[in-house]
Amino acid sequence: MSTPKEQWQITDALVYSADWIDPSRNDWGHYLVVYSYRVGEDRFTGDCKHYGKDSDSYLHPDDVISIRYSPERPAQSYYPDAKKRLNKAIFFLGIAAGVALIVLLIIYLSGGFR
């Protein structure tokens, strides 16, 4: 049985790069963060996506971050502080619900529902 991610080992990692990736048809804009870390004598490289805006101030080369790595497979890692992508379906559902509420409010205020 594998160890849950929340219980993976914590170590420091050195940021190699944090490059902005423009939004595309299939993905939101995000930073692609590449980092390296050591486990014993071995060195590993990991990466993650941090979703946000291009204007967000974010990580820079040579910054030190805390990552978690799998004790069973040290080459597997993740950066727990990275912002996750908002699911597009949930995003658009939220917009649709907001529009529906505004329409209902307009109908109510104009004397509807009586």
The reply to whether 97 and 77 lie within a common domain is: no
Q: Which of 47-51, 77-81, 89-93 has the lowest mean pLDDT?
A: 89-93
Q: Are residues 78 and 89 in the same domain?
A: no
Q: Mean pLDDT check: name the lowest of 3-17, 20-34, 60-74, 76-90.
A: 76-90
Note down the domain range covering 112.
85-114
Structure pTM? 0.68
Q: How far apart are CA 56 and CA 53, in angstroms?
A: 5
Predicted confidence at residue 114, as pLDDT, reads: 63
Q: What is the mean pLDDT of residues 56-78?
A: 91
Domains held by the chain: number: 2
Question: Which residues share a beta bridge with 10?
Answer: 68
What CATH number should be reported for the domain holding residue 70?
2.40.50
Question: Is the pLDDT assigned to residue 77 strictly greater than 90?
Answer: yes
- List the end-to-end C-alpha distance of the chain, in Å, as a whole number: 61
